[in-house]
Structure 1
C-alpha cells in the first residue's frame, strides 16, 4: 500500500540552497547520477525517475522529469499511465515493467525490502552492468527527491 503524504512548509521558513550549501556533495551526486545513466535508455531513465518521484511525493522532480520526458518525445498517454503501470501493461515493455517494479521495491524498501521475484525479474531483462546502473539510478532519484522535498524546491520555479 502506497501512503500519500502532504509536504508541509511555510513560505516564511527559508530553506538552504543545497548546491550552494554543500557543493562537494552536490557535485558528487551529479557525478553519481551521470554514471548511473550511462548506457541506459533515456526513456527508461525518465520512467524510473517519474515513478520514484510519484511514490516519494516530490512535485519538483515529477515536474522536471515529465517535462524532460516530453521533450525527449515521450507520449502523453504513457506519462499518464506511469502511476498505474501494472494495470496499463500494454503501454510498457516487459523490460520497462521490470524496471518499474524494481523502482517501486527500492523506493519503498522499508515496506518489505526488495522481493526476490522483483529482483529476478529485473535481472532477467538487464545484464549485470545495466542492472547495477539501474539500481544506481533508483538510488540517485530517491536522493534527489529527498533533497528537493527537504529544501522545499518549488516545481516550475
Structure 2
C-alpha cells in the first residue's frame, strides 16, 4: 500500500477495500479537449442536443444529482454555480443530495427525473427498474424522456472525463 492509499470498508458489503483518493490537488492528468478534440466535440454535441426542449432548471438538477452520485466535485461545483446563476434556491440545491428524504422541495416531475438519474447513474446495481422508468414516462412525453435519458448519459460521461483527468473543482474550465 502506498502512502496515498486508504484502507476502508465498503458501505454496502462491509468488505475491506483499498481506496485511492482522487488526485484533486495534483495537476490535471491531460487536457482531454486538446488530446481528443473530435471526441470532445462529439460529447459537446450530444450534451447540446440532449438539453433541447428540457427545462434548464431541471437540466441542472439532473446534472447536480449525477455529479453527487459519481462524486465529481468538478462537475458538482460547475452545475451548482450555473444553477445559482439561473436563480435556483440554496434550499433546493442543498436538498438534491437527499431528494428522496426531502421530496417536498421538488415537483413530482422533478422527483421522477431525479429517480431516473439515480437508476441510470447506478445502472450496474439493478438496471433501471420498471417502476422508475414508468414514473418518468408518466411525467415526460416520449421525445422529452429520450432527451432526459440523453442528458443523464451525457453528465455521466462528463463526470467520468473530469474524474479520469483529475479536473480540479472550482476551475470550471469549459
The TM tier, using the shorter chain, reads over 0.9
Determine the structure 2 residue equivalent to 1:145: 159
Unaligned 5+ runs, structure 1: none
Listed one character per residue, the Cα deviations across residues 27-60 of structure 1 (whole Å, up to 9, x for unaligned) are 0100000000001000000000000000000000
Match of 1:86 among 74, 78, 100: 100
How many angstroms apart in 2 are the aligned matches of 1:143 and 1:14? Answer: 17
Structure 1 Cα separation of the partners of residues 40 and 106 of structure 2:
33
> Are 1:67 and 2:81 counterparts?
yes
User: Within 1, Cα distance between the matches of 2:90 and 2:24?
Assistant: 33
What is the TM-score when the length of structure 2 is the normalising length?
0.85
User: What's the C-alpha RMSD, in Å, of the aligned pairs?
Assistant: 1.9
Bigger Rg, structure 1 or 2? 2
* Secondary structure, aligned partner of 1:74: coil
Q: 1:105-132 CA distances to partner (integer Å, 9 max, x unpaired)?
A: 0000000100000000000000000000
The structure in which a higher percent of residues are strand is 2
Question: How far apart are residue 13 of structure 1 and its match?
Answer: 6.9
Structure 2 gap ranges (5+): 1-9, 13-18
TM-score (norm 1): 0.94
1:15 is aligned to 2:21: no
SS class of match (2:29): coil
Q: Hey, which bits of structure 1, 4+ residues long, moved more than 3 A?
A: 10-14
